[in-house]
A and B are shown apart, each in its own frame.
Chain A
Amino acid sequence: GENVEQHPSTLSVQEGDSAVIKCTYSDSASNYFPWYKQELGKGPQLIIDIRSNVGEKKDQRIAVTLNKTAKHFSLHITETQPEDSAVYFCAAGSNFGNEKLTFGTGTRLTIIP
């Protein structure tokens, strides 16, 4: 089955700086890569996703890049703000048939004011 590794497990950055979280996956059949943000006391919420037919996707201050050859994808947050402090999860899955997601172990991001 799919195996997703996520690094780092914790990350602290100064407000206004950029943050990068990296994930690798093992199953070459995976073609859908979402990122979820989990705020304290809440369930995870999708913030951005990318499919294997594109290499990069942006939405305001967040972007995701995908390298299918190397089987890794990354989340980039620019101009970080205090409200970006949360736990972030990457995931990998397929949109053919049995669409389960395999999640990474999470990154706790702290923005230092």
Chain B
Amino acid sequence: DADVTQTPRNRITKTGKRIMLECSQTKGHDRMYWYRQDPGLGLQLIYYSFDVKDINKGEISDGYSVSRQAQAKFSLSLESAIPNQTALYFCATSNGASRDNEQFFGPGTRLTVL
């Protein structure tokens, strides 16, 4: 079973709609991240959370919000989707207690906003 899961895997929505992307992990990690991937731009950090009560903005947080419902769950919301939010979205986790900074990525959610 996958350690980091994302739902849905694909989503097509219309401009102005509210949409939520969900991420769950069974790795027991305290840290979770949301990234956006666009062709030629690499991975850009949207939001990150180092524990349940900690939420931080990343490089490109405008137009997005997050909720850390539990240590294992971190959801990303687009309150009013717009076409330039069409992208591949990745959730990742890491273990803050480990000397290693390795981040473990989910399989991604492909979002299309029409």
Contact = CB atoms under 8 A, between A and B. Distances in A.
B26 interface: no
Interface of A: 1, 6, 9, 32, 34, 36, 41-46, 49, 89, 93, 95, 99-106
B101 A105 contact: no
Contacts of B102: 34, 46, 49
A46 B103 contact: yes
Contact of B40 (A9, A32, A95, A103): A9
B105 interface: yes
B42 A43 contact: no
A11 to B, nearest CB: 15
A99 B90 CA distance: 18
Interface string B22-65: 00000000010001000011111100100000000011000000
A42 B101 contact: no
A77 B86 CA distance: 33
14 contacts: A1-B59, A6-B42, A42-B108, A43-B106, A44-B105, A46-B102, A46-B103, A99-B94, A99-B96, A100-B45, A100-B58, A101-B45, A103-B44, A105-B40
Given A6-B42, A103-B43, A104-B42, A43 B101 contact: no
